[in-house]
Structure 1
């Protein structure tokens, strides 16, 4: 499997936010990471990409751990953060070049992929622009282009729809489907549950730093004993149950 998280305990201080979280993402699969604010979604993602060190448990990407194979581990992952992170002093062209160098990509092939993505998101005539010239949505598109031009085997997308216009959302979902068809594993955190329900193969529902349910929509309905409910209704029901425990 592309991603395997086992008994992950972690957080930002001595008090754990995550309490033995288990999840996996298979090649060619889109898994939705679902949870209210404070449920532990961003903390989980930050552990997977290596920004946080687990208190205990293990994270493997294609059999590699960050501790044993730091460089190869990081090259397996492409990440689109919720808030775009760009370098103020670099143009769009230089961000593309930086991505090519960071991942050790073949320059010609990578630029061909980048040009297609830039044209798709109407950025191909803005290669010499600096981030100060971009709107929030345009910055998000730059992050998407940089992540999707790589050949990473695990794609992590954190709340990708905020700031994107409806056409860009459609284009992003098409790109995710193309990555799936190419055998890439995709883990997507989102609050947009109706979109997640339509596009995700499986779901991991987090609440209070724990996995409350996981599986396909039909499996979630069985686990929650809610045979006809939507993903939104299932999650809100579980969240309310947790609040009243």
Structure 2
């Protein structure tokens, strides 16, 4: 018997207007210890899907559950089970890096000992040791993105929702992030990752969900995506092109 999904979306229709939904009856799940790539063109519905998961948008219909909890039934339990890395960093300019990370740890109820150990490890991993007491307003865009990533990972929830995390990161930062996501996955947490850099995530994700015009048009491992595109054996980037250009 398979484990219950960490994230379960069933029959989700939603968007900014009741008369013109962006998402059309999509269903997907993320299993424990799984990294799933959510891929699609601009406007396909990736960010809208994530906003619904985060509770920033209310579904027109359908159900979203994290570890079996819904926002309606257990809002605190639902939100404490997930963490988010946005595409664009959002920080308080008059707070230091250390204050951001500590603030997030306290919000998630992380113990002082765990906070100290995790923040030290994250600072080393992303080469931010000498920036921990710098104000965020003095950081480069790439460093601000690293702060957002550190805040998300210090929480250690069951589910990470990560939207285009590689923008602004240098090559070493990208490699550090990818390696740490593998470590997080091996520890049992799950990751829903959106990225346009398909060649980068191809060898890291267990499965892929292809969104096109607000609908799931293919999902599964590389072999299943290849079968859906009718081009088995091709790299993910070429398979994605075949799917969205073919209008399937």
Q: TM-score range by the shorter chain?
A: over 0.9
Aligned to 1:185: 190
**1:40 maps onto 2:45 in alignment:** yes
Aligned to 2:33: 28
**1:119 maps onto 2:124 in alignment:** yes
**1:165 maps onto 2:170 in alignment:** yes
**1:87 maps onto 2:92 in alignment:** yes
Aligned to 2:149: 144
SS for the counterpart of 2:100 is helix
Contact 2:71 2:78 in 1 (8 A): yes
SS for the counterpart of 1:59 is strand
SS for the counterpart of 1:188 is strand
SS for the counterpart of 1:37 is coil
SS for the counterpart of 1:74 is helix
**1:198 maps onto 2:206 in alignment:** no
CA apart distance, 1:167: 0.6
Aligned to 1:153: 158
Aligned to 1:52: 57
How many residues align structurally? 243
Aligned to 2:82: 77
Distance 2:132 2:233 in 1: 49
CA apart distance, 1:89: 2.4
Distance 1:70 1:47 in 2: 14
Distance 1:125 1:228 in 2: 45
SS for the counterpart of 1:21 is strand
Alignment counterpart, residue 14 of structure 2, candidates 2, 10, 15: 10
Within a 5 Å distance, the mapping from 1:225-236 to structure 2 comes to 225-236=230-241
Within a 5 Å distance, the mapping from 1:122-137 to structure 2 comes to 122-137=127-142
Query: Runs of at least 4 residues of structure 1 off by over 3 A?
Result: none
SS for the counterpart of 2:131 is coil
Aligned to 1:239: 244
Q: Deviations over 1:84-116 (max 9, x none)?
A: 111122211211221022101112211211111
In the alignment, structure 1 segments of 5+ residues that lack a partner are: none
Distance 2:17 2:120 in 1: 42
CA apart distance, 1:219: 0.9
Distance 1:128 1:196 in 2: 32
CA apart distance, 1:204: 0.2
CA apart distance, 1:46: 0.7
The alignment's TM-score, normalised by the length of structure 2, stands at 0.95
CA apart distance, 1:11: 0.7
CA apart distance, 1:128: 2.0
In the alignment, structure 2 segments of 5+ residues that lack a partner are: none
